[in-house]
Amino acid sequence: MTELSPRIDSLPKAELHLHLEGSIQPATACILMARQGVQATEQEVRRRYTFGNFQEFLEAFKWITSLLRDPQDYALVATDLAEHLLTQNVVYAEVTLSVGVMLLRKQRPEVNFEALLRATEPFERRGLRLRWVFDAVRQFGAEAAMAVVEAARSCGSNTVVAFGIGGDELQVPTAEFRGVYDRASELGFHRLMHAGEVGGPEKIREAIELLRVERIGHGIAAIQDPSLMDLLAERKIPLELCPQSNLRTGALARQLARHPVQIEDHPLPVFFRHEIPVVLSTDDPALFDTNLRSEYAHAAHMGLQESELEQTCAMGFHYAFQPSSQTGTP
């Protein structure tokens, strides 16, 4: 793996595509399980973090979310994540919460969120600003997604900056979520969607044209459609790129229609040089055994030059949903 220069490594960074639940390290998972009377080793947890395709990844994600049962659990994992981000020189992060899963499990998002805010408040003084994305699960449908939007409203916090939808993008037609995104926009939330991860480029177009999303989660299917790449570049719609995630879930192999693939096969350099905004992130760092430093090293290994890595770093701040004066960027 190509090593980062000390200058790029030391730059303050922003991370915009990061799932709280996917950040739960094996040691923390063991603590959560012990709270529920289940003893497990870190090695046993790591085996649960092993998957061969996207559907198996979704099952692993489903399992890890099952360990979060009360507000103190959310406080614990948020604290762990904040400590981890500081080790990566991250000064601003937009963290996605699976609120759709909380509601499915009859939890109270407002109470969980209050615990998160209390737990992470001290990190502001240490130079880390955390903002939150309330996320619905696509396969749960539009009514469940609307409940996530209303939960974001009920929390009444300006730290909730966006609404998004993740999960299985091959389920439920995009058009069914129009009213949900209209409501999110009406309430002042920015709009995100996972698209073009395992679905085709048409899923990205639908998210842009039907839902007016402002950033695309993953979006690697755009490599199949030059006119879509032109559209992304023209409208300056960022792709939240997570190379290790795409490799581990099989999404990259699926989009490139070949197997095996390596990290250097990722289309990040093509997107960058096509003038599509790209923001580099880890997605689910614990599940994919990665961190932001590694993702920048991956980008260097793909051939991005130091000046291009510096521009990528700057784009993380530029396309954040908080004004740059509030993110801590120089």
- Residues designated as active site: 197
Place of tokens 């009444």: 156
DSSP state letters, 74-142: HHHHHHHHHHHHHHTTEEEEEEEE-HHHHHHTT--HHHHHHHHHHHHHHHHHTT-EEEEEEEEEGGG-H
**Cα angle: 13, vertex 102, 142; to 5 degrees:** 95
Place of tokens 């490599």: 223
Take residue 248 and report the two structure tokens written for it: 């581990």
Q: Which helix (H) or strand (E) holds 182?
A: helix 178-186
Take residue 71 and report the two structure tokens written for it: 């507000």
Whole-number Å distance between alpha carbons of 301 and 283? 19
* CA 195 to chain CA centroid, nearest Å: 12
Q: Which helix (H) or strand (E) holds 272?
A: helix 268-273
Other beta carbons less than 10 A from residue 58's beta carbon = 17
* CA 211 to chain CA centroid, nearest Å: 19
Q: 260 and 247 in contact (C-beta within 8 Å)?
A: no
In the chain, the amino acid numbered 309 is L
71-87 vs 109-125: helix crossing angle, rounded to 10: 30
